[in-house]
Amino acid sequence: MTEFRSGFVCFVGRPNTGKSTLTNALVGEKIAITSNRPQTTRHTIRGIVNRPDAQLILVDTPGLHRPRTLLGQRLNDLVRDTYSEVDVIGVCIPADERIGPGDRWIVSQVRQMAPGTTVLGIVTKIDRVGPEQVAAQLLALSELLGPTSEVVPVSATSGEQIDVLTDVLVSLMEPGPAFYPDGELTDEPEQVLMAEFIREAALEGVHDELPHSLAVVIEEIIPREDRAPEQAPMVDVHAILYVERDSQKGIIIGHKGARLKAVGTTARRQIEALLGVKVYLDLHVKVAKDWQRDPKQLRRMGF
């Protein structure tokens, strides 16, 4: 009988290299928020892959970057702590983009911060290019990481090679017990996931100035007591979207509130899927001037 294996995995790479999408594909549920905006991920969300022979805990960190604000500094500290605690670091490089200085910088940071940790190369988005380009990228990534690192091609969108990647990750783990009960997909509190879903919906299709400036705080979650027995249960969720300037508030709300309404509709569907009940989602937008640079405000928003 094969020994049960378990361990922690963290995916790294430049923004928009498919890290969060990969986490979601491996877990089989939407756990990490995905967006083409740099620095979308704010919390270390763990997805859990359960197999009869293994358990993988996927740690989704904010991207490592050169910080410009106190928030940026704290996000980088979070990444450093994570690197030193995981068993495998997967370096993600898209198949359709050349390896550049940003990728080399990230690999050098990984080697520096976690010198003893196993590094695995992952070529993502292989559904976007032909086999020759995939082969060339595998070779380039292998040269960048060196002979001790395996390299695996995957497409999180089409699901191609996801099983192969899971097998490789399991093979790199030490024998050990399951860390979480079978059936659990994440250890994040529901409140954190709800805030992330709202943030993701608000970031969809907005200008570059907004991502860093947007924080979401769930104020209250109140079950409806007045439902008749034949009615499905319902929950009221009250959330505040904080931005740094009045102009950003206008962007989030949109013309006659249309944008905020669309954000609410998208986020509500995801929160209903998460909680398994009907949800009334109440969103308000507030300005908290320069909150990213203010330790007191950062604490209030959970950073």
CA distance 236 to 222: 5
3-state DSSP of the chain: CCCCEEEEEEEECCCCCCHHHHHHHHHCCCCCCCCCCCCCCCCCEEEEEEECCEEEEEEECCCCCCCCCHHHHHHHHHHHHHHHHCCEEEEEEECCCCCCHHHHHHHHHHHHHCCCCEEEEEEECHHHCCHHHHHHHHHHHHHHHCCCCCEEECCCCCCCCHHHHHHHHHHCCCECCCCCCCCCCECCCHHHHHHHHHHHHHHCCCCCCCHHHCEEEEEEEEECCCCCCCCCCEEEEEEEEEECCHHHHHHHHCHHHHHHHHHHHHHHHHHHHHHCCEEEEEEEEEECCCHHHCHHHHHHCCC
The answer to whether 218 is a known ligand-binding residue is: no
The answer to whether 61 is a known ligand-binding residue is: yes
The answer to whether 64 is a known ligand-binding residue is: yes
The answer to whether 115 is a known ligand-binding residue is: no
The answer to whether 15 is a known ligand-binding residue is: yes
The answer to whether 60 is a known ligand-binding residue is: yes
Q: Which residues pair with 284 in a beta bridge?
A: 240
The answer to whether 76 is a known ligand-binding residue is: no
The answer to whether 14 is a known ligand-binding residue is: yes
Annotated binding site for GTP: 13-20, 60-64, 124-127
Binding residues: 13-20, 60-64, 124-127
